[in-house]
Amino acid sequence: MTETRTIGTTNIGGTEFLWGSRTYIMGVINVTSDSFSGDGIGTDVGVATTLGLKFQKMGADIIDVGGESTRPSSIYTGVIPTSLQEELDRVIPTIKALSSVLEIPISIDTYKAEVAHQAIKAGAAMVNDVWAFEGDPEMSHVVSGADVPVVLMHNQEGNDYDDLVPGVIRALQQSVEKAQKAGVDDDKIIVDPGIGFGKNVEQNLEILRRLDEFAVLEKPLLLGTSRKSTIGYVLNLEIDQRVEGTAATVALSIAGGADIVRVHDVKEMVRVAKVSDAVVRGWDKF
C-alpha cells in the first residue's frame, strides 16, 4: 500500500481536483459502434446526454468522450481507422450537448490535434491523449495554447522492454518533459501507464503490482483497467462479465496510488473507490 500523498491541485473546467485527497472517477462515453468494451452508443446525442447525466448522478467527477475505438487497426482485426471528419462528427455534437447540461468537466479522448481543438471549443476541458503527443505533432501546441490539462498515456508498438516498469516510467518522464517544453503548465499534466497498450497480460499485471513506483514522477496518476482483456484472460470471461475483475483492479490501483480511475461501470466503481479510499486514505476524511 502506498502512502497518501498530496501533489497539489489541478483545475479542470472550473473544478479543483485536490490530488491525494480521494480517488476521482472518470466515466467513459464512447460515441462509436465498435468500442472494445462493448459500450459504444453510436452518434445518438440524446443517449449520450442521458448517460452523462446518469454518470454525474452516480458520482462521476469527469466524463471522457471518445470517438474512435482503440482496437488495433488492420486487415486482420477488421478495424478500419476512423477519419478525422468522422471522429469530429461523432464527438463534437455530443460534447456540445453534454457541456450544456453537466456540472462536471468533460475530457476528449483523442490523439488528433484538430479533434482536440474543436472539442475544446465545444466545451471539453481536458485532453486524454493515448499517444502522449506522439500521434500528432500539433497536439502539444493545441493543449498549451488552450491552457487545458492533459493526460499523457504510455503507448508503444509491440511489447518489447529491456526493463518494463523503469522503461515505462522513463518514457512517461520524457512525455512530461516534452509537454513542459511545449508550454503546458506543470500542474496540468497527468500521467497514465497505459494498461493494455503495448503490453501483454503479464506486463499489465506487473505494472499494477508495482504501481507505487510511478510516484517518482510526482504527477497525478490515471489508471484505465475497466473491462480490459487482461481481466478477461485471467477470468476467462467476456466483456460484459468483467465488473468484479474491474473492481479488483480499481481497488488495487487505489492502494497503489491511483488518483483517477477511468471506468465504464460508474455506480459500482464509485462504491469500490469510496471503500478503498476509506482504507487507504483514512475514514476520518469522509
Any idea which residues carry the catalytic annotation? 228, 262
d(CA 183, CA 185): 6
Residues 47, 57: contact at Cβ < 8 Å?
A: no
Q: DSSP H helical segments within 147-242, as ranges?
A: 164-181, 201-209, 229-235
Single-letter residue type at 98: L
Closest listed residue to residue 223, CA positions, set 19, 24, 68? 24
Report d(CA 209, CA 165) in Å as an integer.
10
Cα 199 to the chain's mean position, in Å?
Answer: 16
Beta bridge partners of 106: 63
At 250, the amino acid letter reads V
**Within a 13 Å sphere around the CA of 42, how many CA atoms are in the beta-carbon half?**
3
Q: What is the DSSP pairing of strand 106-109 with strand 260-263?
A: unpaired
Strands (DSSP E) contained in 196-284 are 222-223, 260-263
Q: Which residue in the block uniquely carries the three cell numbers 459504444? A: 40
